[in-house]
Amino acid sequence: MSKANRKTIIAGNWKMNKLRGEARELLDAVVKAVGDQKNLLEIVVFPPYTSLDVAATSLKDSPVKFGAQNMDNHDSGAYTGEVSAKMLTDIGATYVIIGHSERRMYFAETNQTVPLKVKAALDNGLVPVVCVGELLDERENNLTDPVVKRQVGAALTGLTPEELSKVVIAYEPVWAIGTGKVCESPEAARVIGLIRVTLKQFLDKQPELSDSIPILYGGSMNAKNADELLAQEEIDGGLIGGASLKVEDFHAIIQSASKRARLSAARS
Ligand code: PGA
């Protein structure tokens, strides 16, 4: 797959928001808003666990996919409070976010636990959206590149080339998440370019496989800045938090992404 026909993905990370009734309303609105843009884009929403069954019902006849915001790497057993990949596929989820910075920050997710979860997700047919990104302090100390490379390398350890080609990566500078401080689009594109080089090194025998891996940007993406971010060739879509909770904003981002997808389809 060449980069021209790599999927453009718009993903909404709802975090710990929306009760079931509210989730149903938002999902119905998203389905309506997506309309005929479905063929060009992959649109995914990540509601909290308590609304995954609502998503399964509301999205049944829709091209919009859904996933979970986290999972455990074990299949089943005495792991109180955890949810497995099998449970997620059982409910109809097709994606799962792994290694989000909020999980790294508050729930002891590390470069050691992330690869176990990535592998378990792939073993069960889920697409893992692996989040990487530097802290403000790391950026200010010129550590962005080594931190991001290390996180990408750790997350993908032990995967076969075929498994690797099914992963989605999200570059989310931590200082840009939920702060309204978006990363300048050329800089986001530069770091994403670096991630793609890292992927190519991982896939040294089949470097072309790395071209099929979508790399998204996340961190204060909104209706106003989506056009500019998505105009960067390196940025294959967005992982959107706050702006995915309002259908007008999410829809505007989807429209920016369709523009991008139409342009790259025309180029190929
Ligand atoms: P934000 O969150 O869009 O609210 O910055 C992005 C994310 O955490 O994935």
Domain ranges within the chain, ordered by starting residue: 3-267
Confidence at residue 199, expressed as pLDDT on a 0 to 100 scale = 94
Kind of pairing between the strands at 127-132 and 95-98:
parallel
Query: How many angstroms separate the alpha carbon of residue 101 from the centre of ligand 1?
Result: 10
Q: List the catalytic residues.
A: 100, 172
- Residue 72 DSSP symbol: B
Kindly list the distances between the CA atom of residue 202 and the CA atoms of 100, 122, 179, 227, in Å, as whole numbers in the listed order: 22, 17, 33, 31
Confidence at residue 70, expressed as pLDDT on a 0 to 100 scale = 98
- Residue 78 DSSP symbol: S
Torsion of CA 26, 12, 222, 218, to 10 degrees: 170
Ligand 1 pocket test, pick from 221, 246, 249 with the greatest ligand atom count within 8 Å of Cβ, gives 221
Query: How many angstroms separate the alpha carbon of residue 206 from the centre of ligand 1?
Result: 33
| Euclidean distance between CA atoms 54 and 206, whole angstroms | 40
Confidence at residue 204, expressed as pLDDT on a 0 to 100 scale = 82
* Ligand 1 contact, 144 CB (< 6 A): no
| Euclidean distance between CA atoms 176 and 110, whole angstroms | 20
Query: How many angstroms separate the alpha carbon of residue 216 from the centre of ligand 1?
Result: 12
Q: Which atom of ligand 1 is nearest to the CA of 101?
A: 8
* Ligand 1 contact, 239 CB (< 6 A): yes
- Taking the domain 3-267, which CATH number applies? 3.20.20.70
For atom 6 of ligand 1, which residue has the closest CA? 241
Polymer length in residues for the chain: 268
Q: Are 117 and 67 in contact (CB under 8 A)?
A: no
pLDDT 10s digits, 157-198: 999 999 999 999 999 999 999 999 999 999 999 999 999 999
The amino acid at 268 = S
Residue numbers in the chain where pLDDT is lower than 50: 1
